[in-house]
Amino acid sequence: MRVREYLWQVRRIDKRIKALDAERVGLREAATYLPSQSTAGTGRVSNSSHSDPTADIAVKIATADKKIAAEIDALIDLRNKIRGEISQIVKAEYRLILQEHYLNFKTFEQISVDLNYSWRHIMRLYRKALIEFERIICNEQ
């Protein structure tokens, strides 16, 4: 795996979490519109073998919650691992650029404004930071 792909894993996991969360919100909204089958119509509890759509959605919501929790755990572990690897870089500017871009999801334009550097200079530093980061993770393996 190339260095940039390795670092982009954080963003991919974050996007998966957001997608799962949106799915969970949609399921919760759908659950509010479904009447319970157990009391529908006569006011009596139904003994039929048909499943309750509200219960089915509740199971799907619980499953989505578990998936989100697992993804969050994976994200935290990966962020901590990458943060530790980035912290081994000696030059502070390199560390900051990689942290801001890959862990805080800032664009290079935002980083250049924050650091009061030109975009071109940030890109030069970024390329050097990637080389340094690759050297560090290759030495760990």
pLDDT on residue 85: 95
pLDDT on residue 8: 94
CA distance 88 to 109: 25
Residue-by-residue pLDDT tens, the chain, 141 positions? 699 999 999 999 999 999 999 988 988 888 777 665 554 455 555 554 556 777 788 888 899 899 999 999 999 999 999 999 999 999 999 999 999 999 999 999 999 999 999 999 999 999 999 999 999 998 876
pLDDT on residue 50: 59
pLDDT on residue 97: 97
CA distances from 102 to 42, 44, 52, 93, 119 (A): 58, 57, 44, 14, 17
**Position 119, amino acid:** W
pTM of the model: 0.76
CATH 1.10.10 is right for the domain spanning 87-141: yes
pLDDT on residue 121: 97
